[in-house]
Structure 1
Amino acid sequence: MRLSPRLNTAAALSALAASLLAIPLIAPGLVPRLGASSAVAASLPDPATGLTLAAGPRATAVLAGGCFWGMEAVFEHVKGVTEVVTGYTGGSPATAAYDRVSGGGTGHAEGIRISYDPARVSYGQLLKVFFSVAHDPTELNRQGPDVGSQYRSAIFPTDPEQRRVAAAYIAQLNRSGALPRPIATTVEEWRGFTPAEAYHQDFVARNPAHPYVVIHDQPKVARLKTQFPELAR
């Protein structure tokens, strides 16, 4: 269940409690899937291509992996990233609004547009963070409590080189067996990016006590800092 930012704190907590009561008890020895586990994520190999740092102007990467609040929070803590914007990508600009996208059927995914300095962080490093700690790339059309194609795992290359690097890394990870299931991430056609409404921008930083943020987003940032200390800030 997605806890809407429009809910006040009391309503959000009530909805959260109801959702937790609906979760079945976990059998001994089983671990709930709340995204790629730390053990699995730590074992992901570096991309065979796409790790070279390059001098040049600011570069852009567009990724989708569930609710864009947590995705934004993770990449805002990556060294070399200069800006992260939440928004909608994959569909028509005419339907790029939260009330439309959240209902599904628009073709859009909740995504982020990352502006970064390619002399400080490479596209391949960004992808490793994406597959390791930002979301669970093996879930199809969902992330945790958020279900639907609007929460799919997807990469939207903005040029042929990004497409080549992304496709090669997905194939490499599937061959490696580092993840417990095949990767569900799609590499999709670039159709532009529309920034989300203002209240979605920097949501985690502005709402650290929001129940959804505490449960689903802050742990991702913590994993980034633990597993990628050389990249985290």
Structure 2
Amino acid sequence: MSMSHRRRSLAALLAAMIFSIAAGAASAAEDAVVIPPPDVDEAAGPGTETAIFAGGCFWGVQGVFQHVKGVKSAVSGYAGGKAGTAQYETVSTGSTGHAESVQVTFDPSKVSYGKLLQIFFSVAHNPTQLNFQGPDQGTQYRSALFVAGPEQRKVAEHYIGQLDKAHVFAQPIVTKVSDTSGFYPAEAYHQDFLTLNPTYPYIVYNDLPKIENLKSLFPADYRSEPVLVRKGSKG
């Protein structure tokens, strides 16, 4: 699979790593933050529920949610724009309105929307970074929640306010909450990317720490075997 499509050059990655070493700390995008659970959450209901999370490169966000108990599927894709421009090369221009996103289908009797938000804000990304995550720059890497209805909106907006009021982050949360207007799955080579490419430098440096943080901070919610988009894709 050619990686020429991916706008993350090795030079940029090495520059980020050198900066991190010089600063004596890991990238802020990968630093997990211990945060309280939401004061307001949805009540568990029958069946499954779907929520969309945007927090930078979808590789790592998908990988995190694939390791959460109660998640039935986590699909990388594009949200916030139109169907006609929902292709990686076009979205990567930053001009389509899309955000790289992950559509999570979950069993609310096993994991709540509020718990998924807690994991999202704590280990999946840095919600204080505006239009970038780590080495990835542009509006397509913004922090956003695309809610499925008024209940999700209420929980999301209340939680953002709760966290800002408690000053659990050094900077205000910039995550935008919007109604879901469409979700378009990404190309096949983006699906299950973390699981299929555990030695890829970008994954090693930016995303594998997120999985370790999930395991460490949310041991009761962590599962070792990820739920994958492509059956049998893990060797």
Q: TM-score, normalised by structure 1?
A: 0.88
Partner in structure 1 of residue 184 of structure 2: 194
Q: Is the 8 A contact 1:81 1:116 kept in 2?
A: yes
Once the two structures are superposed, the pairs formed by residues 1-233 of structure 1 within 5 Å of their partners are 6-7=3-4, 15=11, 18-20=14-16, 23=19, 26-27=22-23, 31-35=25-29, 37-38=31-32, 41-42=33-34, 44-50=35-41, 52=43, 54-233=44-223
Change (3 A) 1:189 1:230: same
Provide the rounded CA distance (Å) in 1 between the counterparts of 2:163 and 2:182: 27
Amino acid corresponding to residue 200 of structure 1 in structure 2: H
Is the contact between residue 51 and residue 125 of structure 1 (CA under 8 Å) also seen in structure 2? no
Can you list the C-alpha shifts for 1:74-108, whole angstroms capped at 9, x where unaligned?
00000000100000000111110000001111000
The count of residues paired between Structure 1 and Structure 2 equals: 221
> Retained in 1: the 8 A contact 2:149–2:179?
no
Cα deviations by residue, 1:160-194 (Å, 9 ceiling, x for unpaired) = 10011100000000000111110011102311100
CA distance in structure 2 between the partners assigned to 1:21 and 1:47 by the alignment:
34
* Unmatched runs of 5 consecutive residues or more in structure 1: none
- Tell me how far apart the structure 2 counterparts of residues 104 and 149 of structure 1 sit (CA, whole Å): 6
- Alignment-mate amino acid for residue 197 of structure 1: E
Residue deviations 1:40-84, cap 9 Å, x none? x12x111001164x1311110101000000000000000000100
Q: SS in structure 2 opposite 1:188?
A: strand
Give the Cα separation in 2 of the matches to 1:204 and 1:221. Answer: 10
Contact 2:30 2:207 in 1 (8 A): no
Structure 2 distance, partners of 1:200, 1:21, is: 23
> RMSD of the alignment, in Å?
2.2
Instruction: From the superposition, tell whether residues 70 and 184 of structure 1 become closer, same or farther in structure 2 (CA, over 3 Å).
Output: same
User: What are the ranges of 5 or more consecutive residues in structure 2 without an aligned counterpart?
Assistant: 224-235
Whole-angstrom distance in 2 between the partners of 1:134 and 1:5: 26
Cα gap change, 1:80 to 1:14, in 2 (>3 Å): closer
Instruction: Name the % identity.
Output: 47
- TM-score, normalised by the number of residues in structure 2: 0.87
